[in-house]
Structure 1
């Protein structure tokens, strides 16, 4: 699944979903990404939406405690962040390091993401 996500192979991801792959599996690695955090980091919106529709946990963090919304912000993908917010991702989640989506957008000096998050109810 992770290879299909990284290569943005939507049909392969959909096939694995249809085969009932466990969407909570994690790849070993430093940040231990979930399928959803990895797709969000890369800005692969069709895959993000397929995973969400299949029931992937939009609040499950990677090994660093970053939620899919946070990884979308790290990847500077405002469209992916908007998609996750549409699916009711928590705009006020806090990572293990104390980061929030808004603080991360501010650190990146990303005005579009800051505006999106504030409009969605993100707090300092």
Structure 2
């Protein structure tokens, strides 16, 4: 996927059926690079394991990584060059709750530069 156009939308609301939102024991950030990679960073404030998941539109797991409870900071680059265009969900979760991000992968059409040659 050359000339990749991607977006990531952050939803920091913990997924929980309770009425009051809980404070999560971790924070996560993610962004998509022009090199067809999704960079994910997790920073934990408690000794609790965290799981990183990337799912396609059919809820199939495309990537799964466990971050151990002793690891305070974790960063990973996901190579998404071989994935088809479409919507994906990136989820970082623990027993406290989860952070979900919607990621749209799409190839931009390659445009040839317009050139004008003027001769005198």
> TM tier, shorter chain?
under 0.3
**Higher normalized strand content (fraction of residues):** 2
Structure with bigger gyration radius: 2
Structure 1-normalised TM-score? 0.22
Structure 2-normalised TM-score? 0.22
